[in-house]
Chains A and B, each alone.
Chain A
């Protein structure tokens, strides 16, 4: 049984350069897509870990202002307003998102919450991703399996099937 399996395996993959190129090409694309997915996931994690200080209200300073207001000190009515507090909401990448991240860079993964901001400006961000790669339908593992694998299998040399 094992010998049969080995013989079949050798026939399928090692006796024709064309078949080998097919399999190696697909494996190469798969590895590249997987590594790219991991790099993307890591980049999102890193970006979310480094909180943009310029967007967030200094919570310690705000608390100090609140204490001054409660102590009935003569402070500006603009101080310690709950509306001024800002929060950064995160959407961390899913556990297996590295397998299907194509086009995700276009969508925001953070939202700045503030009483002064309306829903329309929640996701206001710089849309700086390159339009050319975005329009090229890039690859990830799910794309390789769902879109490329079926025609790839149908197109592989007939003797392989």
Chain B
């Protein structure tokens, strides 16, 4: 019996003109977004490779130069673009793509892609993930709002009850058909998303993609079941459609917007001038014209002498200026750790507010999990910045070391050559491991499971109640 009922449900889906149109629209939009996304990711990767290559050429071909002069000239760390950014761009467009690894300064990441846009669109970037979340859920709303309500209106529910169909079979058929529709939408969207990757032979991490697929399915199932609940409880199909529309609007647009707004209301962004001025004061003026210099230089000097077993820098031929420069970096790095640590913590707090807002929306939870799996979330951005800063410190220390050891009496007139520039490693970074990503999104994964489970249970209960009421009538 259940097979017959399921077939009947799926047949009615097939005949639903509005759903067919929305499905076609979703397929078309997914196709466009997929081509655009992969093209954008490819362009970003090519631009990065080109910029990296130019940066390296400029660096190794700078000619004879003082190591400290070279440290001010320095190099850039460019953020890699993970392949799945084509499917879910996350916060990538709103976060800096390059870090200038300059001596004495920790520079924040710059060159946000969103700044190149002529005007901010009222909606998020067009991506396969966004279309699946928004248009996919809208298609499910159009498909399912009348699932139970229309049966009641047309008295077919009463006829089914009279013909001996059990409420269990009826509910399983309704819920099962909604599940099949969710699976269909998810499979189609991901298949479209993957076609350009296969054509372009881009290697894709299938495990990450599988988690994205599973999360999308959970979110769509949760939404579909919520619509079944409304359909079973509403007085008529018109009311079910309206309430479903409100739910869709709230979950796909309202909660993310309110979450973002709440994040900056509770944790406002820092004033850029104030932040820069405080770093200037503590890291630069505090050392060069403050009391910190002598103490830090003396400590570093003692450290070098103890390591080399010498009594004075002259004895080992170390240049004092190089020691002072390295001492400053040591002093400034402590300031950077503190100030940029505060900034990082602030951004994490803002992100946490949005994470808790996802309790109210499985679609927002899905967006966050997708961004994490794609490697385009805040965590990946902060990891890139931390790696770039680590590389900067290593690079500057290497240049200062060369100045200390080889400048001798020439001081700042000493010049190093290509051997030194080539000995400095290029910046390389990897996306966060999947285990770390999953640990970061436990709340969101829990939200998806809870919504899907709770909504399915409620759908089951509501449809059973509706059927029993008709049986009694």
Number of A-B residue pairs, CB cutoff 8 Å, is 131
Residue B273 is within 8 A (CB to CB) of chain A in the complex: yes
Chain A residues within 8 Å of B239, by CB:
157-158
Instruction: Sort chain A's interface into a size bin.
Output: 35 or more
* Distance of A157 Cα from B246 Cα, bound (Å): 9
- Looking at the assembled complex, report how far the CB atom of B139 sits from the nearest CB atom of chain A, in whole angstroms: 16
Q: Is B238's CB under 8 angstroms from A158's CB?
A: yes
* Distance of A130 Cα from B238 Cα, bound (Å): 42
Q: Which of A106, A126, A136 contacts B114 (CB 8 A)?
A: A106
Residue B337 is within 8 A (CB to CB) of chain A in the complex: no
- Looking at the assembled complex, report how far the CB atom of A8 sits from the nearest CB atom of chain B, in whole angstroms: 20
Q: Is B253's CB under 8 angstroms from A147's CB?
A: yes
Q: Is B115's CB under 8 angstroms from A139's CB?
A: no
Instruction: Sort chain B's interface into a size bin.
Output: 35 or more
Q: Is A134's CB under 8 angstroms from B94's CB?
A: yes
- Looking at the assembled complex, report how far the CB atom of A125 sits from the nearest CB atom of chain B, in whole angstroms: 6
Question: Which residues of A62-117 have CB atoms within 8 Å of chain B's CB atoms?
Answer: 102-103, 105-107
- Looking at the assembled complex, report how far the CB atom of A104 sits from the nearest CB atom of chain B, in whole angstroms: 9
Mask, B246-287, CB within 8 Å of A = 1, is: 100100011011111101110101111101110010000000
* Distance of A10 Cα from B265 Cα, bound (Å): 34
Say yes or no: A103-B275 contact (C-beta < 8 A), given A129-B269, A148-B253.
no
Residue A17 is within 8 A (CB to CB) of chain B in the complex: no
Q: Is B273's CB under 8 angstroms from A52's CB?
A: yes
Say yes or no: A137-B242 contact (C-beta < 8 A), given A47-B271, A128-B275.
no
Residue A31 is within 8 A (CB to CB) of chain B in the complex: no
Q: Is A135's CB under 8 angstroms from B120's CB?
A: no
Say yes or no: A36-B261 contact (C-beta < 8 A), given A126-B275, A148-B253.
yes
Chain A residues within 8 Å of B347, by CB:
130-132
Q: Which of A54, A126, A135 contacts B108 (CB 8 A)?
A: A126
Q: Which of B254, B264, B273, B381 contacts A138 (CB 8 A)?
A: B264
- Looking at the assembled complex, report how far the CB atom of B196 sits from the nearest CB atom of chain A, in whole angstroms: 23
- Looking at the assembled complex, report how far the CB atom of B347 sits from the nearest CB atom of chain A, in whole angstroms: 5
Residue A61 is within 8 A (CB to CB) of chain B in the complex: no
Chain B residues within 8 Å of A7, by CB:
none
Q: Is B249's CB under 8 angstroms from A155's CB?
A: yes
Q: Which of B238, B259, B261, B276 contacts A126 (CB 8 A)?
A: B276
Closest to A132 in B: B351
* Distance of A138 Cα from B259 Cα, bound (Å): 8
Q: Is A32's CB under 8 angstroms from B273's CB?
A: no
Chain A residues within 8 Å of B354, by CB:
132-133, 136
Q: Is A47's CB under 8 angstroms from B114's CB?
A: no
Closest to B109 in A: A127
* Distance of A127 Cα from B272 Cα, bound (Å): 8
Residue A29 is within 8 A (CB to CB) of chain B in the complex: yes
Sample 24 A-B pairs with CB under 8 A, ordered by A number. A43-B271, A106-B115, A126-B107, A126-B275, A128-B269, A130-B264, A130-B350, A131-B94, A131-B378, A134-B91, A134-B114, A134-B260, A135-B90, A135-B94, A136-B257, A137-B124, A138-B261, A151-B249, A152-B249, A155-B246, A156-B242, A157-B239, A157-B242, A158-B238
Known A33-B261, A43-B271, A156-B242; 15 more pairs at CB < 8 Å = A106-B115, A127-B96, A127-B108, A128-B270, A130-B264, A131-B381, A132-B347, A133-B263, A137-B122, A137-B123, A137-B257, A138-B264, A147-B122, A151-B253, A157-B242
